[in-house]
Amino acid sequence: MLLASLVLLPFLGSVLAALMPQDARNRESWLAIGVAVGGLAIAAALFPQVAAGEVVRAEFAWLPAEGLDFVLRVDGLAWVFSMLVLAIGLLVVLYARYYMSPEDPVPRFFAFLLAFMGSMLGVVLSGNLVQLVVFWELTSLTSFLLIGYWHHRADARRGARMAFTVTATGGLCLMAGVLVLGHIVGSYDLDVVLAAGDQIRDHELYLPALVLVALGALTKSAQFPFHFWLPHAMAAPTPVSSYLHSATMVKAGVFLLVRLWPALAGTPEWTWIIGGAGVCTLLIGAFVAIFQHDLKGLLAYSTISHLGLITVLIGIGTPLAIVAAIFHILNHATFKASLFMAAGIIDHETGTRDLRVLRGLRHKLPITATLAIVASAAMAGVPLLNGFLSKEMFFAETLHVGGDRNWWMSYAAVAMGMFSVAYSLRFISVFFGTPAQGLPRDPHEPPRWMRFPVELLVLACLVVGVAPGVSIEPLLHLAVVATLGEDAPAYDLAVWHGFNLPLLMSVCALVGGMLLYGVLRRHFDLARRERVPLLHRLNGAQAYETTMLQLTRGAEWLLRRVGTRRLQPQLMLMMLALLLIPLLLAGAPPAWTVIPVRGFDPIFAGMWLIGAGCALAAAWMAKYHRLAALALVGGTGIVTAATFLWLSAPDLALTQLMVETVTTVLILLGLRWLPPRIESIAGPVQPPWQVWTRRTRDLALAVGGGLALAALTHAVLVHPASDTIADFFLLNALGGGGGSNVVNVLLVDFRSFDTLGEITVLAVVALTVYALLRRFRPAPESAGIPPQQRFEGDPASRQSPAEQAGSGYLLVPGIYLRLLLPFMGVIAVYFFMRGHNLPGGGFVAGLIFAVAILVQYMLAGTVWVESRLNLRPHRWLGFGLLLACTTGLGAWWFGHPFLTTHTAHVEWPLVGELHLPSAFVFDLGVFAVVVGTTMLMLVALAHQSLRAHRHPGEDLTADGQGGAEGRRI
Amino acid sequence: MSGAESLPWWAAIPVALLLVLGGIVTLVGTLGLARLQSFYQRIHGPAISIALGAGCILLASMLYFTVMQSRLVIHELLISVFVLMTAPVVSMLIMRAAVYRDLRAAREMDPGNDAGNS
């Protein structure tokens, strides 16, 4: 439970932070500090167990059927990493309090930051690979949100998109890799996977698994060739850069590699893939960093280079190299976080980050300057600082690669050392020289507590650098033992090892770096160079943009080639599929047996004859007489409803009748937007033979489809009903569900989960229709007022709809229909109330209620109704869904499964005993959703006819209705 | 339909008369709809059917079920009210459409008046 709260706490804090007001900077900071301190306390409480070499686990059933559990697991490595995440998080939060300006919406910032903290802890503490990937993607998502925090800036949006695309794609590769690993081992549990190293390495799928996992790790840790996203991620606020993009998130990739080292490492493939990517990154990052003009850009490339260093160490893969890698992860987090914060202070105080402008800042910012110089020295690997120690271990490890003859790795290491000295010098050059004039702001020392995190981190650099044995050794030992187990090598963290090759390499790098910087400054115009020499063509960001562009183009091409906007081909393909696919799946239909007709009823047959006649006539009229066709379709619908009634399905009949009504109104509203018939080509023209063929084909297809469906229905009807669950429902409706109307009990009790899904779909459809109609603009020929309404011989053409209903030709119908409104309301309530026992229910009641409102719309027009009735269809939808879900969740409160119905018998003063099942409340939710859906769609359509009268540039008030119609529904 | 023979004669006679009357009125109305010349004449056919024909049949139904179930059955009153209210309104709307159609047809016959709104 302690473990679970460690991960949960930041997420809870995130929700709380999101709920605070815009300007609550101090409260947000206190909350975030509280979360970080709480996390640290929990981690500290776990320390005794972890220090004893125990693996603390907490398991929760997640998908037990699939063998997946939610496992949290702390060993030494995870513990050290969570301490890193929490401690740096604490400092960053403190720093961010002063960095963020009062105008920034801080709730969003702190909510995302805390969510990131939780996700990162999730990655570190996951004891299950699938779960690790989930948290992994969560860190990508929060990183995306944080980079895009200032979303009004184009570079922030672009950087956020790029970072997310790269890391999330990598995450998907990682997911695939994890699935392959799970397939090889037979479990996703981390302990099992780690113990099965030999099995994995011998498996034929080892290489794919390795490549996929490596893709995930390398994209996350910004390794070549995916390094380009990190510099663009610098558009984020500096606390974010300091926390996510130097200290923690980018370390997730190398963390994963260290974590899976026992399972995957030890093969030439591992060394080549991981080590190769690391070497390229190391050199490119360090070299490009020298030529940056942006303080944060320089630090970003330096981060890339240091991550490359760690990756190389992991790629080398000897136990000592892993020790060095973990050690450097910790060291780099310390000095780079402090450097980013220092860069943020400079940016904050001077208003610019341009290395070409900044000079002589040590006069104005003496303390910050000292801190930044010490941290850069650590970055450069100057002795007595922590960077020196891990860099020397790195040099020592590179000497082992390639044996005695092959020295290329060592050369690369020294070159990287020289570059890093050079860019560190470039970084601290801002503090020296004559003070710059004309900075955007006059710099002075930042507030005490803004500098405090930097001071603390620099102090850590110094302490670790001077006395590693007492400060960092115990922690490092924990992580190393957890990773390497009994292979843990003997290592010595002393500052002085005597004169040896690594020391020589360090001295070479320091001296060489200073010389290189001097030469570049003097002879290559370092301060003004726009391009990176040699490597400026290696533009990963450009390649990324090109790829994205190609993808979009490709998708457009594919859409053009295989897609269509015309309805006819789509319908034809659907009908063809409907006809052919069942044949392919089920084979030829069975032999046809003629069923003797029993109980022939001439009245029923006559009714059907009328219905079928209506349907055929509707098809006949559909081309030129749409209104007639619509009326005929309505006739078919009524016959269908009557059929249901005849066959003892009153619920269905009622619903069908209401659906028929609403649909007819819907199509009537839509008819107006269809293009009018072109009168000029009317008349008996002999169509060309292609047209004739096409029409014949379509007719055959339509007839075939209809016949096939009829045959299918017939086949279903004549087959004897096998063991269905219908009997169960019939038997249990009254006893189990407490209602004698089986249909309604089925809907709101037995299968209420289905119903919940259906009303959700309804709501989604309604919102989609609404959204589509908001952007709908009619074709030019139907945009104007239809000629029927423009006819001046009719007095009604000079009246608004409201006037027509109030004093015009609609006066009498108007009085009648307004009289009808309360009746219809009562009927809706009546059908709703009796739904559980007699035909009715929320669905029908909702439709009736919607029709009652619609009638008012049809009578007096949108403007009249909406100036009197404040309908909010969105709220009906939301309220309905909420009610249905809450009813379902209520069952949990009493310890029953979701959506269990409970029936209460309430004694009311006048009514007597009332039977009140909780399904009743659920049905109320259904009712509200149905009302909301119908209203939203029809009203959105109705608003179209108001909006369409406006032509571009037309005066709104000239329309007579324009003023009021601006209201949105 | 069972039980019709158990109806006492004093009730059976008015029920039968009302049913026959209603049937005849409805038939006449329907014939009118089919046979009369102009629209304005034809509209009277359904009006008669609805008002008088349906009224007779509903009265018969009330009487029959009241006697058969030995209690007052007056659901039909509600039906009558709604039918009597709906039918005229619907007739008005249909007639208004016809007037409108004739007006437009007249305007198209005489294009001189139509200059302003095409």
Top residue of A789, A798, A799, A816 to mutate, by most chain B CBs within 10 Å, is A816
CB nearest B107 (choices: A790, A793, A813): A793
Percentage of chain A with pLDDT > 90?
A: 38
> What distance in Å separates the CA atoms of residue A377 and residue A523, rounded to the nearest whole number?
24
**What's residue A912's pLDDT?**
64
The reply to whether A811 touches chain B by the CB within 8 Å rule is no
Contact A794 B100 (CB under 8 A): yes
Residues of chain A neighbouring B86 (CB-CB closer than 8 A): 816
Residue whose tokens read 């020392």: A445
Percentage of chain A with pLDDT > 70?
A: 94
A906 phi and psi angles, rounded to 5 deg: -110, 135
> What distance in Å separates the CA atoms of residue A71 and residue A192, rounded to the nearest whole number?
12
**What's residue A334's pLDDT?**
92
Judged against a pLDDT cut of 60, whether residue A963 lies above it is answered with: no
pTM to 2 decimal places: 0.71
Residue whose tokens read 């001097």: A518
Three-state SS letters, chain B: CCCHHHCCHHHHHHHHHHHHHHHHHHHHHHHHHHHCCCHHHHCHHHHHHHHHHHHHHHHHHHHHHHHHHCCCCCHHHHHHHHHHHHHHHHHHHHHHHHHHHHHHHHHHHCHHHHHHHC
**A649: exposed, middle or buried (Cβ count in 10 Å: 0-12, 13-18, 19+):** middle
Using an 8 Å Cβ cutoff, are A899 and A753 in contact? yes
**What's residue A253's pLDDT?**
93
**What's residue A949's pLDDT?**
55
The reply to whether B117 touches chain A by the CB within 8 Å rule is yes
The reply to whether A791 touches chain B by the CB within 8 Å rule is yes
Residues of chain A neighbouring B104 (CB-CB closer than 8 A): 791, 793
CB nearest A790 (choices: B93, B106, B117): B117
Instruction: Name, in order, each residue with C-beta under 8 angstroms of A832's C-beta and a sequence gap of 6 or more.
Output: A840, A841, A842, A845, A923, A924, A927
Return the residue of B nearest to A791 by Cα: B117
| Region A943-963 average pLDDT | 52
Judged against a pLDDT cut of 80, whether residue A655 lies above it is answered with: yes
The reply to whether B116 touches chain A by the CB within 8 Å rule is yes
Return the residue of A nearest to B100 by Cα: A794
Contact B100 A812 (CB under 8 A): no
Point out which residues pair with A915 in neighbouring strands.
A905
Token code pair at residue A572: 């034809």
Residue whose tokens read 């329309």: A959
Q: How far is A870 from chain B (nearest CA, A)?
A: 28
The reply to whether B92 touches chain A by the CB within 8 Å rule is yes
- Mean pLDDT, chain A, rounded, equals 86
Contact A791 B107 (CB under 8 A): yes
The reply to whether B103 touches chain A by the CB within 8 Å rule is yes
The reply to whether A808 touches chain B by the CB within 8 Å rule is no
| Region A73-77 average pLDDT | 90
**What's residue A453's pLDDT?**
92
Contact A813 B93 (CB under 8 A): yes
Query: What band does A2 get if pLDDT is binned at 50, 70 and 90?
Result: confident
Instruction: Name, in order, each residue with C-beta under 8 angstroms of A916's C-beta and a sequence gap of 6 or more.
Output: A903, A904, A905, A906
- CA distances in angstroms from A364 to A351, A378, A863, listed in the order given: 14, 23, 66
Residues of chain B neighbouring A790 (CB-CB closer than 8 A): 117
Least confident of A58-62, A475-479, A835-839, B53-57: A835-839
What residues 36-65 of chain B have any CB closer than 8 A to a CB of chain A?
Answer: none
The reply to whether A812 touches chain B by the CB within 8 Å rule is yes
Residues of chain B neighbouring A792 (CB-CB closer than 8 A): 116-117
DSSP per residue, A300-361 = HHHHHHHHHHHHHHHHH--HHHHHHHHHHHHHHHHHHHHHHHHHHHHHHHHS--BTTT---T
Top residue of B84, B100, B118 to mutate, by most chain A CBs within 10 Å, is B100
Return the residue of A nearest to B86 by Cα: A816
The reply to whether A679 touches chain B by the CB within 8 Å rule is no
Point out which residues pair with A70 in neighbouring strands.
A60
pLDDT tens-digit series, residues A609-626 = 999 999 999 988 887 888
Point out which residues pair with A189 in neighbouring strands.
A128
Inside any domain, residue B104: yes
Q: How far is A813 from chain B (nearest CA, A)?
A: 6
**What's residue A914's pLDDT?**
65
| Whole-angstrom Cα Rg for chain B | 21
Contact A793 B104 (CB under 8 A): yes
The reply to whether A816 touches chain B by the CB within 8 Å rule is yes
Query: What band does A681 get if pLDDT is binned at 50, 70 and 90?
Result: low
Among the ranges A653-662, A666-675, A741-750, which has the highest mean pLDDT value?
A: A653-662
Among the ranges A654-658, A671-675, A771-775, which has the highest mean pLDDT value?
A: A654-658
| Region A314-320 average pLDDT | 88
How many domains does chain B fold into? 1
**A622: exposed, middle or buried (Cβ count in 10 Å: 0-12, 13-18, 19+):** middle
Using an 8 Å Cβ cutoff, are A254 and A217 in contact? yes
- How many beta-carbon pairs under 8 angstroms link A with B? 25
Judged against a pLDDT cut of 70, whether residue A403 lies above it is answered with: no
Inside any domain, residue B29: yes
**What's residue A964's pLDDT?**
40
Token code pair at residue A714: 């017939």
DSSP per residue, A600-649 = --HHHHHHHHHHHHHHHHHHHHTTT-HHHHHHHHHHHHHHHHHHHHHTT-
CB nearest A791 (choices: B89, B96, B104): B104
Residues of chain B neighbouring A791 (CB-CB closer than 8 A): 100, 103-104, 107, 117
Using an 8 Å Cβ cutoff, are A111 and A17 in contact? yes
Contact B103 A812 (CB under 8 A): no
Contact A812 B89 (CB under 8 A): yes
**What's residue A894's pLDDT?**
78
pLDDT tens-digit series, residues A846-878 = 999 999 998 888 888 888 888 888 888 899 999
- Between B103 and A214, the more confident residue is A214
| Whole-angstrom Cα Rg for chain A | 37
Return the residue of B nearest to A786 by Cα: B118
Q: How far is B88 from chain A (nearest CA, A)?
A: 9
**What's residue A593's pLDDT?**
67
Task: Tell me the angle at which helices A366-380 and A408-428 cross, rounded to the nearest 10 degrees.
Answer: 170
The reply to whether B111 touches chain A by the CB within 8 Å rule is no
Residues of chain A neighbouring B88 (CB-CB closer than 8 A): 812
Q: Please report, in angstroms and rounded to a whole number, the separation of the first and last CA atoms in chain A.
A: 48
Using an 8 Å Cβ cutoff, are A420 and A381 in contact? yes
The reply to whether A790 touches chain B by the CB within 8 Å rule is yes
Judged against a pLDDT cut of 70, whether residue A954 lies above it is answered with: no
Return the residue of B nearest to A808 by Cα: B96
Top residue of A797, A809, A858 to mutate, by most chain B CBs within 10 Å, is A809
Print pLDDT tens along chain B (118 aa).
456 777 888 888 999 999 999 999 999 999 998 888 888 888 888 888 888 888 899 999 999 988 888 888 888 888 888 888 888 888 888 888 898 888 888 877 765 554 444 3
Token code pair at residue A220: 């996350």
Query: What band does A400 get if pLDDT is binned at 50, 70 and 90?
Result: confident
Inside any domain, residue B116: no
| Region A308-334 average pLDDT | 91
Q: How far is B103 from chain A (nearest CA, A)?
A: 7
**What's residue B75's pLDDT?**
83
**Helical segments of A485-601, H only:** 501-523, 540-562, 567-586
**What's residue B114's pLDDT?**
45
**What's residue A859's pLDDT?**
86
ipTM here? 0.81
Using an 8 Å Cβ cutoff, are A335 and A461 in contact? yes
**What's residue A967's pLDDT?**
38
CB nearest B92 (choices: A790, A794, A813): A813
Instruction: Name, in order, each residue with C-beta under 8 angstroms of A70's C-beta and a sequence gap of 6 or more.
Output: A59, A60, A61, A62, A128, A131
Using an 8 Å Cβ cutoff, are A149 and A245 in contact? no
Q: Is A13 left (phi over 0), alpha (psi -120 to 50) or beta?
A: alpha
Contact A792 B116 (CB under 8 A): yes
Token code pair at residue A610: 């009328």
Using an 8 Å Cβ cutoff, are A493 and A476 in contact? yes
Residues of chain B neighbouring A812 (CB-CB closer than 8 A): 88-89, 92
Residues of chain B neighbouring A794 (CB-CB closer than 8 A): 100, 103
> What distance in Å separates the CA atoms of residue A378 and residue A649, rounded to the nearest whole number?
83
DSSP per residue, A530-555 = -S-TTTTT--HHHHHHHHHHHHHHHH
**What's residue A955's pLDDT?**
46
Query: What band does A965 get if pLDDT is binned at 50, 70 and 90?
Result: very low
**What's residue A14's pLDDT?**
93
In this structure, the number of other CB atoms found within 10 A of the CB of residue A680 comes to 6
> What distance in Å separates the CA atoms of residue A582 and residue A705, rounded to the nearest whole number?
12
Range of the domain at B63: 9-109
The reply to whether A898 touches chain B by the CB within 8 Å rule is no
- CA distances in angstroms from A127 to A132, A396, A679, listed in the order given: 7, 33, 74
Task: Tell me the angle at which helices A626-646 and A602-621 cross, rounded to the nearest 10 degrees.
Answer: 160
> What distance in Å separates the CA atoms of residue A377 and residue A730, rounded to the nearest whole number?
82
Using an 8 Å Cβ cutoff, are A934 and A846 in contact? yes
